[in-house]
Amino acid sequence: MKTIYTRVLVCLMALSAAINIKAQTLNSMTEVIPFKMTDGKIIIAATVNGEPADFVLDLAGHTALLPEAVKKLRIDTSKPGSFSAYQDFQFKKVATGEIYNIGTLTIGNNIFANDLPAFILKDEPYLRKLGVMGVINCSAFRSSVLTIDTQRKKITLTQPYRPSYMKLNYRAGFNLIQGLGNVCPLLIQGKEVNLVLDTWSEGLVNLTEKDFAAWSTTYPKGTLQKVSNGYKETATDEESLILPETMFVKTKITEATAVKNPSLKRSTLGKEILNYGIISLDYGHQKVYFQPFDLAPIPENESKVIEIKVEDGKLTPITRQFFIDHIFDFRKGGEFVSKSDKPIVIDFWATWCGPCMRLLPQMEKMAEQYKGKVMFYKVNADKEKDLCNHFGVQALPTLFFIPAGGKPIIEVGATPEKYVQIIEEQLLK
């Protein structure tokens, strides 16, 4: 009897673990964005203050812009920005000037950052040669999981978990340090060393002069395979080391080398690591996932396309993307002006909110009552946290009453009799 009980218990535990793992891969947002590579640099498209531009993905250091980007990207110079730590440009020997908040930054349809601080570079001809407006660091992805696949030349952005094809047991922890970036562990002969993940520098391991001198007493010198000239990075044959038995997460790195880079203030794990597999950086949980390209099949269509059928007279559930496309694109900044030619009522709710659940049937009746006159929508606050955060929705239920071409009248609490008054006197007047 005891043996049967034990087997049942083990099965239940395994089932619970499987359900938990599956739950951890169900994302409310998945977006796949192609990138291009120029001179070995990852170039991604972004929109700043409504203006499209290309940037180098440089996870180490700080976000920085060329001088001409201030005017082109409509940076508000009346609002100087600041970094609470590391006030110098950490990894490249490039002179910097002022720090400004760059306003609204959008990558794809879902990644949104507001008032991200950025250095304005004195000058950097190499960035102009790449055809970019500057570099974007990891701070733009703090609310999501960033997955980089250099084999397919795509980044995948997910919330709140890693993509389903990234194996749960192929992970390690990392430290997110302001002004430095993601400090990840690398194993060399079983010994752990912590290096800043750097998607700019070529090579596998890039060492400061001090670290290179220290490592030279342990590892033999080798012949350098690659030389990177970006930001004046140079190395010679005498400035490379052979690293035996090197492993990142669970992936063995063959023919691993380390090179000296005088421009660094902290030793880094360079972009060559991306030649060995796919990397996912979960900033919320500070976990790094890394696995070989062929470890797991990748779905052909990873983007989760949510088709919303709007029906007049119904309380229609909507997403952040629907809000941007049909109501107001808050990523571009500026005053709220509704795109709709009809008045709108939006109910922000959640399943755990008792007043919200009691209010929903009344909202459905109201939608039917004002059919042809007012559009009624509902937003699940648990699934659309970015939308709620942007508009400061904290207490539930919160309702937006938006006149045609106008800005919202905001009410908190379940008071349907008051809602009718607002609709009659302010939306339909």
* Active centre residues (catalytic): 353, 356
Secondary structure (DSSP) of 264-328: -SS-EE-GGGGGS-EEEEETTTTEEEEE-TTSS---S--S--------TTSEEE--HHHHHHHT-
CB contact at 8 A, 74 and 50: yes
Look up tokens 């007047």; give the residue: 429
CB contact at 8 A, 207 and 194: no
Task: Tell me the H-state helices in 24-92.
Answer: 69-72
Neighbours of 417 (CB within 10 A): 7
- Beta bridge partner(s), residue 34: 154
Range 29-45 burial, b when 16+ CB lie within 10 A, else e: bbbbbebeeeeebbbbe
Closest listed residue to residue 423, CA positions, set 337, 343, 338, 336: 343
CB contact at 8 A, 147 and 279: yes
Q: How far apart (Å, rounded) are the C-alpha atoms in residues 198 and 132?
A: 18
Residue 347 belongs to what H/E stretch? strand 344-349
- Beta bridge partner(s), residue 406: none
